[in-house]
Structure 1
Amino acid sequence: MYRELIRFTSLFATTALLAGCFGFGDDDDPVTQTGSVKRVESQSDSGPDKGLLNTWLGLNDQSDGSAGGNATGISVNGYLWRAALDTISFMPLAQADPFGGTILTDWYRPPETRGERFKVNVYILDSDLRADGLRVSVFRQRLDPSGVWLDARVSKETGTNLENAILKRARQMRVRLQ
């Protein structure tokens, strides 16, 4: 009885091992039965400079600044992205998401004003270089005498002026690179 149990267990283990080594006739499997690997490429990704890193950095951009149709690339306008980073480069970055088009800064204290700090959120909403594809939110806090930061009002013109500066810089980049 003990020998039959060992024989059955080893036969079952061998069968399971062999079954795991063979394909079950799936023609869509990238590994063929001879062991070679099929290379799958789309037509738009061909070329020596196309790659995830180049796409992520915006180096594959078309003339309009959109990321050449690659679904894994940046889905926002490359010129707006670079112009926004360039315009707010004096502020410390808290988060930058090129795929979602968000740039969030940390609090920045200008050296010329004590007791005041600013924070900026930039949202790039479109893959085209358009004014309505950009939204900027500016936040301001003031230090009260007890040492607590309190929210302060920011005029809407501040955000609009920053949006205009980013758009102007993006247009300059586009003209320079064409």
Structure 2
Amino acid sequence: MFRPSALVTGPVIAIAALSLAACASKKDRPAPDLAASRVTTIGVNSYLWRATLDTLSFMPLVQTDSNGGVIVTDWYANPQAPNERVKFTVTILDQDLRADAIRVAGLRQVNQGGQWVAAPMTAATTQKLEDLILTRARDLRRTSVAG
């Protein structure tokens, strides 16, 4: 008759006990939200971050700081309006996916006789960019829940 030694039995029992304890603790925990609005890998909400990069992908970027939540573009001139250029700074203010967690600031210049001169940017322009980013962030979140 086979009789296991105490050296083998002790570790086997300990491993079995740990396995059972791990199963019990997982069962007691609530299921994680796969598309949580909070983020732990970077300092800001990942959906807002990704959505901002996607929305501004046509513009050259000067600075990106995922921990501080700041994205700064370089000057961009639309080919249909080469005498006008814009530059944006997007700040993500929170880890939650909320409408007030993002702020867009913009600068606009017009070319007057070869000289770039500051010109006013309408509030509607920055608001529209915020709306585009928020819509894209919500789409990204919805996709991650469905997938």
What interval of TM-score do these two structures reach, taking the shorter chain for normalisation? Answer: 0.7 to 0.9
Query: Which structure: larger Rg?
Result: 1
**Structure 1 gap segments, 5+ residues each:** 1-60
TM-score (ref. length: structure 1): 0.61
Q: CA deviation at 1:66?
A: 2.2
Which has the larger share of helix? 2
1:121 is matched with which residue?
89
**Structure 2 gap segments, 5+ residues each:** 1-32
The 8 Å contact of residues 66 and 75 in structure 1, kept in 2 or not, is answered as: no
Paired residues in the alignment total 113
* Secondary structure class of the residue paired with 2:87: strand
2:19 is matched with which residue?
none
Distance in 2 separating the partners of 1:174 and 1:96: 22
Which has the larger share of strand? 2
The 8 Å contact of residues 50 and 137 in structure 2, kept in 1 or not, is answered as: yes
* Secondary structure class of the residue paired with 1:149: strand
Distance in 2 separating the partners of 1:140 and 1:82: 24
2:128 is matched with which residue?
161
Is 1:94–2:62 an aligned residue pair?
yes
Q: CA deviation at 1:64?
A: 2.0
Deviation string 1:51-89 (CA, Å, 9 cap, x unpaired) is xxxxxxxxxx95224223xxxx31100000000000010
Higher relative contact order (CA 8 A, sep 6+): 2
Q: CA deviation at 1:104?
A: 0.1
Deviation string 1:140-166 (CA, Å, 9 cap, x unpaired) is 100111x11100011101101100000
Distance in 2 separating the partners of 1:62 and 1:129: 14
The 8 Å contact of residues 94 and 101 in structure 2, kept in 1 or not, is answered as: yes
**AA matched with 1:96:** T
| Residue number among 76, 80, 85 corresponding to 1:108 in the alignment | 76
The 8 Å contact of residues 104 and 127 in structure 2, kept in 1 or not, is answered as: yes
